[in-house]
Amino acid sequence: MDRETVEKVARSAHLKLTEEELERFSRDLGDILGYFTILDEAPDCEGFGIDPIGVADVLRDDEPRIELEPDAMLEGMDTYDNYVRGPRLL
């Protein structure tokens, strides 16, 4: 796969690659996609499933419920004043 595409994909995936990684992955991905070309000749099939077993119409009632104490979940997080801290926006 060409370098430019790998860089574009990496940006989209929020990965920063070293020079060495860029070269290595370009090669690897090129090989892998080459292997994938066999898919182009696979015959088409009626419809496509989202999963192998046909999961359909699984719904739950609109009943509000708190099952786990929110504090238990916030415990492992970087918080401030009960807000979860994250990187800056601007």
Partner 1 sequence: MSQSSVLSSLSKINEKYLMFRTVTSQTDAGDAKFLFSAKDNLTSKDMETCSGSRILEGYRPPFDATSIAKMREAGGLLIGKTNMDEFGFGTFSTNSAFGVPRNPYDLERSCGGSSGGAACAAAVMEGHVAIGVSTGGSICCPASFCGVYGIVPTYGRVSRYGLLDYGNSLDKIGIISSNASDLGKYVAIMAGADPKDPTSCVQPAIGSRRKLKSVAVPVDATEGVSEDVKKAFKDGLEGLKSMGVDVQKVEMSTLKYAIPAYYVIATSEASTNLARYCGMRYGHQDGDLSLKFDDYFTSFRSQYFGEEAKRRILLGTFTRMVGFRDRYYSKARNVRQSIIEEYRSVLSGCDAVLTPTMPFVSPKFSDISKMTPVESYKADILTGPPNIAGMPHASVPCGYDRDGMPIGMQFVANHWDEGVLFSAAEEWEKNFDAVRPEVSI
Partner 2 sequence: MKIGLEVHVQLPTRSKLFCPCPTTDAPAPNTHVCPVCLGLPGARPMMNGKAIEYGILLAKMLGCTVRDTTWFARKIYFYPDNAKNFQITQYDRPLGEGGVYYLNGKKPIRITRIHIEEDPGKIKRVGDLSSLVDYNRSGIPLAEIVTEPDLSTPAEAREFLGQLIRDIRYTIDLPDDGERSIRCDCNLSVGTERCEVKNVTGLRNVERALTYEMVRQTKLLKAGGKVVRETRRFDEERGVTISVRKKEMEADYGYIDEPDLGIFNVKELADSLKIKESPHNMIIRLTKEYGIDDKTAKQFVSTSVDLAKLFEDLAAATDAETARTWTSGAVSAGWRAFEARGGTDASEVVNIVRKFVDGEITDTECGLRIKAFLAGTDIDSVSAGSADLDAMISQYLDENPSVIEDYRKNEKTANRVIGHVMKQTGGAHSSADIVDATKRLIGERL
Question: What, of partner 2, partner 1, none, does residue 80 touch, CB below 5 to 8 Å by kind?
Answer: partner 2
Buried-state track 43-79, b at ≥16 Cβ within 10 A, e below 16: eeeeeeeeeeeeeeeeeeeeeeeeeeeeeeeeeeeee
Query: Going residue by residue from 1 to 30, which x/- string records binding to partner 2, judged by CB under 8 A?
Result: -----------x-x----------------
Q: Residue 89 — left, alpha, or beta (φ > 0 → left; ψ -120 to 50 → alpha)?
A: alpha
Min dist. Cβ of residue 11 to partner 2 (A) = 9
Footprint of partner 2 on 60-79 (CB under 8 A) = 60-68, 70, 73-74, 79
Number of C-beta neighbours around residue 26 at 10 A: 18
How many amino acids of this chain bind partner 2 (CB under 8 A)? 34
Min dist. Cβ of residue 45 to partner 2 (A) = 16
